[in-house]
């Protein structure tokens, strides 16, 4: 599976962005999809993930971010609202058929190239 993330940019605190992840796989529905982020000098951390119908979120983004998918279009999205400066990072989408723990990056086999999100205060 090839993944390509897009939609990042510069936004003021309190603003919104929607990230998109385009997948090459026609049967995207069988993949568990995740969003991760990595800030400078920090480890990659989980943001959100989605199976066919269930979702999971990191505590830091609950109530602000929403993950969704459109299997017919081979797309996964991350709607980010009420952005904070601490959300600044490179955001990656990832996929795997059976990740053991949704929040562990090493559980995912396929990764997109990342898109930069910068939130100014």
User: Under DSSP, is residue 52 helix (H, G, I), strand (E, B) or coil?
Assistant: coil
- Which of 76, 78, 114, 110 minimizes the C-alpha distance to 94? 110
pLDDT tens-place string over residues 11-47: 999 999 999 999 987 778 889 999 999 999 999 999 9
Q: In the prediction, which pLDDT does 29 show? A: 84
Q: In the prediction, which pLDDT does 68 show? A: 96
Residue recorded with tokens 């959100």: 48
For 63-118, give the secondary structure using H, E and C.
CCEEEEEEHHHCEEEEEECCCCHHHCEEEEEEEECCCCCCCCHHHCCEECCCEEEE
């Amino acid at each position: 599976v090839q993944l390509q993330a897009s939609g990042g940019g510069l936004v003021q605190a309190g603003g919104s962005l929607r990230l998109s992840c385009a997948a090459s796989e026609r049967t995207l529905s069988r993949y568990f999809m995740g969003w991760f982020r990595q800030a400078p000098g920090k480890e990659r951390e989980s943001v959100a993930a989605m199976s066919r119908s269930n979702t999971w979120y990191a505590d830091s983004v609950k109530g602000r971010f929403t993950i969704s998918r459109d299997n017919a279009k081979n797309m996964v999205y991350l709607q980010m609202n009420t952005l904070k400066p601490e959300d600044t990072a490179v955001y990656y989408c990832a996929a795997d058929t059976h990740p053991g723990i949704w929040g562990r990056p090493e559980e995912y086999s396929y990764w997109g190239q990342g898109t930069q999100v910068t939130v100014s205060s």
